[in-house]
Amino acid sequence: MIMVDGTPLLVSDELKQLLLAEGNGEALLGAKLRYKSAVRSVNVLSELEIAASGTAKAPVKLDTTGMPADGTLKISGDQPVALSGKGLFREIQITNPKAKLTVGTDLRIARLVLPDGVSLTDIVTNLSQVQSQIGSMVSASGATLSLPASPVYYSAPTVLDKSALDAAIADASGLADAAVAGSQGGQYPQSAIDALKVAAKAASDVYGDAEVKQAEIDDAASALQDAIDTFKAAQVPTLEGSLIENRPFLPQ
């Protein structure tokens, strides 16, 4: 039961969620209701006008749960009002050009009526998050207003650093091309040359991948450098080097 102009009226459970919700007390202070009643009960709530005003740091908060979908919500205060809850509003009217409205992300507004001479960005504080939830918009004088174009955000392209991989590929290719297969000093086993070419080819494939990520580039460069080190270690020692290493020590 609620008191309207000193008269006790019964309300439906659905409307109780709106009119008797603990968090809506401040928002409903001084509010005006248009309704149809019968036998001391509210049958239909056709319009709810919020006249209370909050502040930028403490807006008036209204949980609209229980508001009939075909009802009209009117906001006439000149300070911020934050709407929450779920559902569809047939119409929300803003009558004060100084009003600020924050729309909950679960609310849908079929039609939004603004004061003449103001734009949607002047009224709705979180427009970028809820613009798609507003069906149409008109001025108080009935002129159709266009919703602003949704902003398009472009992310900066990722710049990949392939310099280390490029240098390793060039080094490996040069070593493989210059290498002579054989068992003589300074030569390389054919298997070592083939392994280096395979590693260089794999690294080149990573380098040319259009969807490659930086971590994959870094891993490929590291793997190819390991292959280069392994290749160099496989070189057949020269005879002169072997004799020098095995020459016995002769006292002077």
Q: Where in the chain is the domain with CATH 1.20.1270.90?
A: 163-245
pLDDT at 85 over 70: yes
CB 56 within 8 A of CB 28: no
Instruction: For residues 139 and 142, give the distance between their C-alpha atoms in angstroms, rounded to a whole number.
Output: 5
Residue 151 DSSP symbol: P
Residues 161-173 have pLDDT tens digits of 999 999 999 999 9
Residues 213-237 have pLDDT tens digits of 999 999 999 999 999 999 999 999 9
pTM of the model: 0.53
pLDDT confidence bin for 6, thresholds 50/70/90: low
- C-alpha distances in Å from residue 143, one per residue of 110, 112, 115, 122, 163: 16, 12, 11, 17, 60
Percent of the chain past pLDDT 70, that is, above it, reads 83
Beta strands 107-114 and 87-89, pairing class: parallel
Residue 244: predicted pLDDT: 47
pLDDT at 248 over 60: no
Residue 39: predicted pLDDT: 65
The CATH number assigned to the domain with range 163-245 reads 1.20.1270.90
CB atoms within 10 A of CB 129: 13
Residue 243: predicted pLDDT: 45
List of residues 6+ apart from 114 with CB closer than 8 A: 94, 120, 123, 137, 138, 139, 140, 145
Token output for 136: 């149409």
pLDDT confidence bin for 2, thresholds 50/70/90: low
List of residues 6+ apart from 183 with CB closer than 8 A: 189, 236
Q: Which amino acid is at 102?
A: T
Residues 124-169 have pLDDT tens digits of 988 888 888 988 989 999 898 887 766 656 667 788 999 999 999 9
